[in-house]
Amino acid sequence: MYGYTLGWLDYVVIAISLVVSLYVGVYFSKRQTSTKNYYAAGGRIPSWAVGMSIFATLISSITFLAYPGEGFKSNWILLVQGIMVVVVLSGLVWFVVPLYRKVIGISAYEYFERRFGPFARFYSSFAFSLTHFSKMGSVFFLMGLALTSMTGVNTYLIIWIIGFAIIYITLKGGMEAVIWLDVIQGFMLIGGGLIALSVILFSIKGGPAAIINTAVEHNKIGFGPYDWDFTKLTFIVMVLNGIFYGIQKYGTDQTIIQRYLTAKTEKGAVRAALMGVLLSLPVWTLFMFIGTALYSYYQISADALPVGIKPDAVFPYFIVSQLPTGIVGLILSALIAAAVSSLDSDLNCISAIGVEDYYKRFRPNSTDEQRLKVGKTVVFFSGIAALIVASLYVVLGGKGVLGIVFGLYSIFSGGIVGIFLLGILTRRANRKGVNIGIIASIIFTGYAVLTSQKFGGSTLIDLGDWNFTQHKYMLGVYTHIIVLIVGYLASLFFPHEEVHEDLTIYAWYENLRGKKTTNDM
């Protein structure tokens, strides 16, 4: 705690925010009578709201705290990933959204099974679940860290109290409550960031010009180093990572694809996807720039940071020490909202995976009512598991949380993009070939992790010159490429395996060309 006590107005603002969130969950609870409503909001959400929901899901307390932390201690290299997402989505969305709306029920990984069989579906859905458990734990942790620094309340207590509130909202309101809460929370997040940045820019002599000049002098605004070196964090590493991250997020990630199904129309879903990412990049930039501006602020002003403060804690310290009562409550509410908008979505989507990919397979004759009951049970226990992961982050001290999140994402993503690209881009890839590619990817991931991770000061398995020495962000890139190459080549050895050409981009293109020809007649 930094010697700050929240004022009564701060508490009022926070209380109103929490009450509204809980009310929205209760309000939509009456409609949650089927799995279609619970997971896809009955397909009745306007496109602008879906777009705001995609945006709010991509923006979490990781953005709110870790991006300013990175901007403060380094430069903008991690923002390269977001830039590449925009580039990738611009070419991907026109095919992917119609494909999923026509092919799947609820689970994105139903496409993988229809194209390559059950193993591809189980593998990809399991990888999704692992990835999002690690992400949820990080979001809970960063939120708890910030609130503790501002209020002095025990971090574990904050994590578990707000965690149970999020579980309750998700249980009661389903995806419809998630989306409309995201709309509210998205505006709160943007507003909170703009208020904080305005205070930073105009609270020192020289204003924005002084902030920017100082940042430029200290090389805080840039995307380097630009070395062609895969062993450290460089621009090219983030470009490659960003390309595959963009394909994975918008082409295979359940939290995004499930939202495609909530829009009223196909065109509305496309607009929503574009709106979500086009809103996200400026906000990622906003919070990265907040960190850069904070660096300049503490270089220029007479204010000093506490000794030993971590970069992730600089933004919370500035909020409590420089902003007036009421505004602190608003920023705090925006931080909580950022966490809620990400976590409630993750819980609902993991529940959808549990029901669609596993429960329905083992209980094919179950009723929709039974599936809905199981889905809500999955929400509860998934939430508890995420809270346990967050508590472990607290024990570990949360060093370099954003780096941990990206590293875990690279490890757990395990070649899913490779499977997806083989499915949509090739006519030759088949079930047996892709399964071999997945196995090759698993073996490579095991080798890379065991020969690069250290425990007790020594590498888990030391192979000397044969150790994996590339940057950890490259691991995810390599696993996708391995599945793509090995899966394709292995498929050539099984020419009689069934290939579903109707699920490729070529069938989509032929259909599009046929419609164009018909319209021209």
pLDDT at 409 over 60: no
Classified as helix, coil or strand, 144 is helix
Percent of the chain with pLDDT over 90: 45
Average pLDDT for 331-357 = 88
> Residue 185: its pLDDT value, please?
84
Calpha distance 462→390 (Å, rounded) = 30
Residues 6+ apart with CB under 8 A from 9: 325, 326, 329
Question: Structurally, what CATH architecture does the domain formed by 8-397 represent?
Answer: Up-down Bundle (1.20)
Per-residue pLDDT band at 339 (split at 50, 70, 90): confident
Residue of 154, 133, 136 whose CA lies nearest to 145: 154
Of 198 and 500, the one with more pLDDT: 198
Domain residue spans in the chain?
Answer: 8-397, 414-521
Average pLDDT for 498-518 = 73
Classified as helix, coil or strand, 305 is coil
| Alpha helices by DSSP H, 323-400 | 327-353, 360-362, 368-396
| β-bridge partners, 455 | 458
CA–centroid distance for 271 within its chain? 20
* Model pLDDT for residues 411-424, shown as the tens digit of each residue: 666 789 999 999 99
Calpha distance 274→262 (Å, rounded) = 15
Q: Give the mean pLDDT of the chain.
A: 87
Calpha distance 358→371 (Å, rounded) = 11
> Residue 1: its pLDDT value, please?
47
Calpha distance 13→187 (Å, rounded) = 15
Of 381 and 453, the one with more pLDDT: 381
Decide: 79 and 287 in contact? Cβ < 8 Å.
Answer: no
In eight-state DSSP terms, residue 449 is: H
Calpha distance 157→184 (Å, rounded) = 26
pLDDT at 168 over 70: yes
Decide: 346 and 130 in contact? Cβ < 8 Å.
Answer: no
Calpha distance 177→164 (Å, rounded) = 16
> Residue 515: its pLDDT value, please?
61
DSSP 451-513: HH-EETTEESS--GGGS--S-THHHHHHHHHHHHHHHHHHHTT-TTS---GGGSHHHHHHHHH
Per-residue pLDDT band at 141 (split at 50, 70, 90): confident
pLDDT at 408 over 70: no
Cα-based angle 323, 328, 330 (whole degrees, multiple of 5): 130
Residues in the chain: 521
Average pLDDT for 370-378 = 95
CA dihedral 111, 113, 114, 116 (to 10 degrees): 110
> Residue 391: its pLDDT value, please?
85
Calpha distance 167→165 (Å, rounded) = 5
Of 437 and 317, the one with more pLDDT: 437
Query: Omega before 225 cis (within 30°)?
Result: yes
What proportions of the chain, in percent to the nearest 5, are helix, strand and coil? 80, 0, 20
CA–centroid distance for 249 within its chain? 8
Handedness of CA 440, 441, 445, 448 (dihedral sign): positive
**Least confident span in 39-43, 135-139, 260-264, 429-433:** 135-139
In eight-state DSSP terms, residue 468 is: -
Percent of the chain with pLDDT over 70: 93
Average pLDDT for 448-475 = 82
> Residue 363: its pLDDT value, please?
92
Calpha distance 396→405 (Å, rounded) = 14
Classified as helix, coil or strand, 296 is helix
Distances (CA, A) of 205 to 121, 296, 297, 300, 351: 58, 12, 10, 8, 52
Calpha distance 192→333 (Å, rounded) = 9
Per-residue pLDDT band at 410 (split at 50, 70, 90): low
* Model pLDDT for residues 75-126, shown as the tens digit of each residue: 999 899 989 988 888 888 888 898 898 888 889 899 999 999 999 999 999 8
Most confident of the ranges 95-104, 143-152, 455-464 = 95-104
Handedness of CA 175, 176, 179, 182 (dihedral sign): negative
Tokens 């499977």 correspond to: 419
Average pLDDT for 477-483 = 94
Average pLDDT for 450-465 = 78
**Residue 56 one-letter amino acid:** A
Of 51 and 411, the one with more pLDDT: 51
Per-residue pLDDT band at 476 (split at 50, 70, 90): confident
